[in-house]
Every structure is written in structure tokens, then in C-alpha cells.
Amino acid sequence: MNNTSIANSSQKKPFVWQQEQWETLQNLWQQQRLPHALMACGPRGIGKQHLCEAFAYALLCEDLQNGFSCGQCRSCQLLAAGTHPDLLMVIPSEGSQLIKIEQIRQLADFVTKTTQQGGYRIILISPAEAMNNNAANALLKSLEEPTPHTLLLLISHQPGRLLPTIKSRCQTVIIKTPSREKLDGWLDDKVPQLQLDHLFRLAENRPLLALQMAEGEQLSLRVAFAKELQAYLKQEISLSALMAKWAKEDVSLLLHWLSQWVQDVIMWMTSSEETRLIDREQLLFYQWCQQRGDYRGLFGLNDEIDRAIRQLQSSANPNKQLLLENMLIQWFIWSRGR
């Protein structure tokens, strides 16, 4: 069972763009209207899990400081050590994208135990749509028959994939992608301003995704993939050569990049407004595409890419290499249209 207690900094506060949602949670708690199940919904990379963890820390803290966990009490120290007995996270099994029924059954055992610290018993499930059908059905019992002083926090990137009966038993907290203005000052000490603007465009204003790109190798990988994609479309390298290098990378990420570039090509071919592009550094490529085919054919390609991404996120276990290969072939066929 890959259920682990949260182990991070002993004090957590919501991010600056989450104040509205934080106030909602605080009001529910202070007015004693906290439901037995909350679902935080929104796109990846905006801090849903961080917000839920911050709220869990506050609920379990013994000495709140202005509504936030103190970071010093015994409960906060247990949280920092990842050993708090009243906090459990349920995540996909190791080596799997799924949360399985065995994990939910053990969760059910957890909620029947007496709280060891005398307060709330909290379970975080992330992401909730990772539950397979059996696990989701097993969770319904805990939602239908809640035990006192138990709070389930479900985190969902795609609530549409959840059973309606699960969603109906949770109070939803919607976390939207923050505006660029709300992100002013965030990451400024880590990234030069010009690069920061580029990062936020690529991340579509999803701040944690921008941070991930700033600290890792995603930017250089993206540039390299764009270069070789263009070489393939221009018949400078073969599909087999392209796949040999890139099929072992994160296919979901590659498909996401393909989708952004397709959207940019459509935007450029229909408006020629550089300021509306996601990845302005590929402008010469978009101009090349403009001479190759009818932009209307790209709408279907983008739909196919989105469908492939959804397949990868499902429990169907599709052939990742084949999905990527098919999208590349479809783009190549489109580029031969004129």
C-alpha cells in the first residue's frame, strides 16, 4: 500500500493566489460548517494539493498563528517528520497510475480508529480520478457513512472523470488558474524577468508548472524536441530516428507540447498576432507551417492530441509510443497538404 503521511515543512501557508479559497475553508471551519468531504478542483500546477495540506496542517496544529499552523507544536513536528498518526495521504501505487481498492479498504480501517491527538482525522486522496472503479465504489461507503471528526480531502485535476455519486457527496472548492497579475513577485528572485514571462506563457499561468520548468530540464528538452519535430516535418530526419530518441521521454508532456504548438500555428494562421502565441520562440516554425496546409485541418489534429492525452491519463494503459507516433504522422500528413 503506497499510502504515506505528508512529510514537508512543519508550517504551511496557502500561496498568494489562493487567498479566496483559504478564506472559504477558514470560514467553514470557524462557523462549524465543515463538511465531511471536500474536493479541490482545478488544472494541474496551481497548488491544489498545497492548499489542502496547509488546511490539514492548520486543523491538526495545537497552537495556530493567525489561522496558520505554528510549525512548532508537537503536532507540527509530527507533520514535519511525516509521522502524524491522524493524517494519511492516498496516492497511486508505486509503478502505477491507479489508486486500487486495497488502498481504499485500508483507508476505511484508518477512519474507524480513535484519533490519537484528539482532533480531526484527515485523509488526502490525490488525484481522486486515479481511483479505479472498484476503489471509487469502495470509497462511497466512507462518504455515505462518515465517522465523526473525519475529513476527506479529494484533489482532482479532472473531476469529470469521477463518479457522479462521489462528486455529489463532496463540497467543491474550485481553484482557478491565477491571472498574471496575481503572480507578480512570485519567482522573481529565481528567474530573470524576460525568462519569467516566457515561463508563465509556456505554463499557461500555472505557477508550480512554471517553477518546475525553471528548476529542471524541461525548457531545454522542449527546445530540443521542437527542433527535431521541425526536422522531421521538413523531411530532414526520419520518424524512426525521432521516435528512437523521444519515445522514452514523458509522452504526456510531449503531447502537451505538441498541442500548444498546434494551437499556436492555428492562432498565427488566423490572426498573425505574435502577442497571442504561447511559445513565441517558435515563430519561424509557425510561419513555415503557414505555407504548408489549411489551418482548419489542425483543429482535428488538436482534438486527436487531446484524446491521446486523456487515454494516457485513463486506466486503459494504451501504447504510449504508438500514440505519439500517430500524432506525429498526422501532423506530417497535414504539412504535405499544399
Question: According to the model, what pLDDT value does residue 116 have?
Answer: 74
- The answer to whether residue 155 is domain-embedded is yes
Say yes or no: 171 and 222 in one domain.
no
Q: How is residue 153 written as a grid cell?
A: 480531502
Residue 251 maps to a domain:
yes
Pairing of strands 3-4, 87-90: antiparallel
Note the pLDDT of residue 289.
96
The answer to the question of residue 207 being in a domain is no
Side-chain-facing half-sphere of 230: CA atoms under 13 Å = 16
Per-residue pLDDT 10s for the chain (338 aa) are 334 434 345 578 999 999 999 999 999 999 999 999 999 999 999 999 999 999 999 999 999 999 999 999 999 999 988 899 999 999 997 778 889 999 999 898 898 887 877 789 999 999 999 998 899 999 998 888 888 889 999 999 999 999 999 999 999 999 999 998 888 788 877 777 778 889 999 999 999 999 999 888 999 999 999 999 999 999 999 999 999 999 999 999 999 999 999 999 999 999 999 999 999 999 999 999 999 989 999 999 999 999 999 898 876 788 999 999 999 999 999 999 85
Domain of 290 in residue numbering reads as 217-335
Is the CB of residue 61 less than 8 Å from the CB of residue 69? yes
User: Which residues does 35 contact at the CB level (< 8 Å), separation at least 6?
Assistant: 28, 170, 171
d(CA 183, CA 205): 8
The per-residue pLDDT for 8 is: 43
Taking the C-alpha atoms of residue 258 and residue 305, their distance in angstroms, rounded to an integer, is 8
* In a shared domain, residues 171 and 318: no
Q: Of the residues 176, 204, 227, which one is the last residue of a structural domain? A: 176
- All residues at 6 or more sequence positions from 300 whose CB lies less than 8 Å from its CB, including other chains: none
Identify whether residues 225 and 150 lie together within a single domain.
Answer: no
Domain match, 145 and 260 both: no
- Looking at the structure of the chain, the number of domains it has is 2
Cis peptide before 127 (omega within 30 of 0): yes
| Residue 27 domain-assigned (yes or no) | yes
Domain identity same for 171 and 230 = no
Question: Same domain, yes or no, for 137 and 279?
Answer: no
Question: Is the pTM of the predicted complex or chain greater than 0.85?
Answer: yes
Q: CATH number of the domain that 149 lies in?
A: 3.40.50.300
Amino acid (1-letter code) at residue 53:
E
CATH number at residue 237: 1.20.272.10
> Which grid cell is 270?
488566423
Q: Are 299 and 331 in contact (CB under 8 A)?
A: no
Asked whether residue 195 is assigned to any structural domain, the reply reads no
Domain assignment present for 226: yes
Q: Of 51, 54, 121, 135, nearest to 87 (Cα)? A: 121
Pair 121, 256 in one domain: no
Question: In whole angstroms, what is the distance from residue 102 CA to residue 93 CA?
Answer: 10
- pLDDT for res 10: 59
Is 47 in the same domain as 155?
yes
In DSSP terms, which residues pair with 131 in a beta bridge?
99
In a domain, 202, yes or no: no
Residues 7 and 72 placed together within one structural domain of the fold: yes
Residue 231 domain-assigned (yes or no)? yes
Residues 136 and 56 in one domain: yes
Same domain for 163 and 230 = no
